[in-house]
Structure formats: C-alpha cells, structure tokens
Amino acid sequence: MTEIEWWDYDDADEMAEAVAGDIGFIIESAIDARGAAVIALAGGKTPLPIYEKLVQQKIDWKRVTIVPGDDRMVPLGDPLSNVTAIGKIFIPKGARVIPLISATVSDYKAAGRAADAILQDLHWPLDLCLLGIGNDGHAASIFPGPDYDEALNGPKERRALGVMPEPLPPEAPVARVTLSRAAIVSSKAIMIAITGQTKKDVLEAAIEQGASSPYPAGRILAEVELPIDIHWSA
C-alpha cells in the first residue's frame, strides 16, 4: 500500500488555498527543472475554487500545459464541458489547455483514440494529476461499464480512451474521454481534493479495499507507488 496523507480543512475555501499553493509549488518545480510543466486537472465544480486561487499565483503560465483528467462528450462551451471551465480560468493567463474532445468526432471510442494521439506528443509522465472522487467512487471518468477493464488494464502506453459509464450518471448522462489508469498512476505527483462526508467515507473504503475494491478509485490508487496527498473539507 502506498503512503497516504490526509489533510482536513475547516471549509472549502481553506482547502482551496492550501491545494492551490501545493499545485503552484509543483508547477514551479517543474519549470525550474526543465522549463515547462504538464499537469492534469480534475473537472466538475469542486475544484473550481482551487483553480481560481491557483491562477492568481505569479507563475509563467506560458510554460504550463493543462489537460482535463477527463471530459464529457459535449460541445465546447457546454456547461458539462470540463475543458471549457478550465480554459476560461487559465487560457487568459497564457496557459496551454488541451481538449480531450474533438468537435469533429461523434463516436466516443474514436474520440478516445484521437485524444490519446494528441496526448502522446506531450511530456510524460505528468508532473501532477489532480483527481476528484464521485459519490459512486469513480475517479477521472473511470466508471464501471463496457470499457472499465480497458481503462484499468489497457496498454501501459495508452494515455486516454473513450468510455461509456453504465449506468450513465444522471447529472451528466453522456459518454466520456478519460485518462487511463496507467497515465494517472505514472504521474510524478497525485493529489485528491474532495468535499463532503459521503466522498470521504467512499474514498476511505476504496483505499482500504485496494485492488479488489468495487470502487474504481480503489482499483486506481492500488497501483500508485508514490505518496498520495488527499485534501478534504466538510
């Protein structure tokens, strides 16, 4: 079992400040080491306050490349689009934000292959992968369904793939493109940011269960060899 460090906060704002500081340090360290940083950021609403604080830091954003850890098969500009939300924050600062969803591809499997081809050209491993966790225990968009085994156990060199959750999440009932487990666990740093007791309970159970967990997060994190920082607020 890899080393897990939990950080608990009184509220989401305090967590956002701390996580943004940690991410900024990782970015700066990568820029100092090789002149650039490549990071994957979680989608959804929970991490947006983190990003709003992160973007205020005095970082040379033109040296930073950001990819969503996953995205929904929706058009750019759609409220469900993770890259749209991330891009609105970081592109004005000069960061390069890479979409996982191609506007010209409607088939989710083909979209996954197209995203994988684009990501192959980035610097790997990622300097950081920031994950969120769903109430159902999914991470990135690795869900139970017809593509679950491929997301967990596909070729090590695969960076991304298309997935169809089963059942479809009611809040976003669409196919996804996600980083593979191999891409996530190879990252130089992995952080998790969550809010709410339900997600904390699910994540604690997933970690305890490890590779045999019914939760995707447990299956993913069981493969991580580096320490993981988990940030939680009620």
Residue 21 dihedral angles phi and psi, to the nearest 5°: -65, -40
Q: Where are the alpha helices (DSSP H) in 35-81?
A: 48-54
Say if residue 56's pLDDT is above 90. yes
Secondary structure percentages of the chain, helix, strand, coil, to 5? 40, 20, 40
Cα–Cα dist 102/217, whole Å? 27
Q: What is the length of the chain?
A: 234
The pLDDT of residue 220 is above 70: yes
Q: Is the pLDDT of residue 4 over 70?
A: yes
Closest CA to 87 of 106, 64, 104: 64
Q: Look over the chain and give the mean of its residue pLDDT values, rounded to a whole number.
A: 96
| 211 vs 137: CA distance, rounded Å | 13
Query: Given strand 4-9, what is the order of strands in its sheet?
Result: 4-9, 228-233, 190-195, 128-131, 37-41, 64-68, 96-97
179-192, pLDDT tens digit by residue? 999 999 999 999 99
Quick one: average pLDDT of 29-51?
97
Tell me, what's the pLDDT at 76? 93
CA 14 to CA 64: how far, in whole Å?
25
* Over residues 133-152, mean pLDDT: 97
Can you give the pTM of this predicted structure? 0.96
Q: How far is CA 217 from the centre of its chain?
A: 12
Q: What are 97-132's pLDDT values in tens digits?
A: 999 998 888 899 999 999 999 999 999 999 999 999
- pLDDT for res 103: 82
Q: Does 163 score more than 80 pLDDT?
A: yes
Q: How confident is the model at residue 1 (pLDDT cuts 50, 70, 90)?
A: low
Q: Point out the least confidently predicted range of 1-5, 25-29, 37-41, 139-143.
A: 1-5
Indicate the pLDDT class of residue 40, thresholds 50, 70 and 90.
Answer: very high
CB atoms within 10 A of CB 220: 27
**Taking Cα atoms as reference points, which of 181, 186, 178 lies closest to residue 141?**
178
2: confidence class by pLDDT, cuts 50, 70, 90: confident
Distance between CA atoms of residues 41 and 129, nearest Å = 6
Q: Is the CB of residue 181 less than 8 Å from the CB of residue 223?
A: yes
pLDDT digit string (tens) for 61-93?
999 999 999 999 999 999 999 999 999 999 999
Q: Where do the H-state alpha helices sit in the chain? A: 12-34, 48-54, 82-90, 108-119, 148-153, 181-185, 197-209, 216-221
Distance CA 130, CA 41 (A): 5
Residue 61 CB-half CA count within 13 A: 17
